[in-house]
Homo-oligomer: A and B are copies of this chain.
């Protein structure tokens, strides 16, 4: 039984036909047409039409950045697109003639890791996606946690530091302000600006322009053995571990999957996370510790997860 998964990103719409083993057997892409809802829907429908011309599919799952209603039919609010309480599933069903469900993109990716990726042997999973920002997904006893109205899984906005750093969401001290690429880059620039010699190689690698330091550069230097870059990644790793430990007090996961661009740093991120997790988990002498593992589905996760949820 095949289904189609669609991942609507800020610049690109990626779609694929997914089989029951989580493999993408056909794929296509479209550019994301700015922020016009009608054009986006048309582009999605067009990609779906192309794919179903070759494969028989039972439905379509669509992942997008935003809050999706608990029935998976309406987008409450999208981060980068103009949708507000938008009946996206209805519109796409009208255009494609197929059953459609929508899911938050981090949830879709998390579901793929649970079903076919790094957590496929587990039934309780936390996933944290550490990229520019921080995403998350929660699977408990085989169920994706969506909450009463679809707002669940926002690990980014657990408060890590009362009265801490302002977050774009309007709160202070959200975990995302301590364990994501943006936080790491800000720390790097600040330390460079204060003349910290450990930041020297980073500034040099940025062509002498400390404002040019970015997350991929830090990750690359850390992988090449630069101690300053490794320290920056270790710091967000430690915050990740502390944040996950707080969440684990509530949810007792079996495994913690870490995805996103910064996860490319591997043990440089996961080692400090695992250590801080062990130090910050209640009742740790009475239980086994969930391992931190790197996500294994890569960019395919969004498509595969959305498609699987559509079955």
Contact = CB atoms under 8 A, between A and B. Distances in A.
Contacts of A145: 140, 250-251
Given A148-B252, A190-B170, A282 B164 contact: no
A282 B141 CA distance: 26
A283 B165 contact: no
Contacts of A136: 250
25 contacts: A67-B287, A76-B287, A77-B283, A122-B148, A124-B147, A138-B250, A145-B251, A147-B251, A155-B249, A157-B282, A158-B246, A158-B249, A159-B242, A161-B162, A162-B242, A163-B164, A165-B165, A166-B186, A170-B190, A170-B191, A170-B193, A171-B280, A195-B284, A246-B246, A250-B251
A143 interface: yes
A67 B286 contact: yes
Given A171-B282, A195-B285, 16 more contacts: A77-B286, A123-B148, A138-B250, A140-B143, A140-B145, A141-B146, A146-B252, A161-B162, A163-B178, A164-B165, A166-B186, A170-B193, A194-B285, A196-B279, A247-B250, A250-B251
A254 interface: yes
Interface class of chain A by DSSP: loop
> A76, A153, A286 — which one has the most chain B CB atoms within 10 A of its CB?
A286
A252 B166 contact: no
A160 B141 CA distance: 27
Contact of A141 (B77, B138, B143, B245): B143
A241 B76 CA distance: 24
Nearest to A138: B250
A1 interface: no
A126 to B, nearest CB: 9
Nearest to A286: B77
A311 interface: no
A159 B252 contact: no
Nearest to A190: B170
For the complex of A and B, 3 pairs with smallest distance between CB atoms: A147-B252, A157-B282, A148-B254
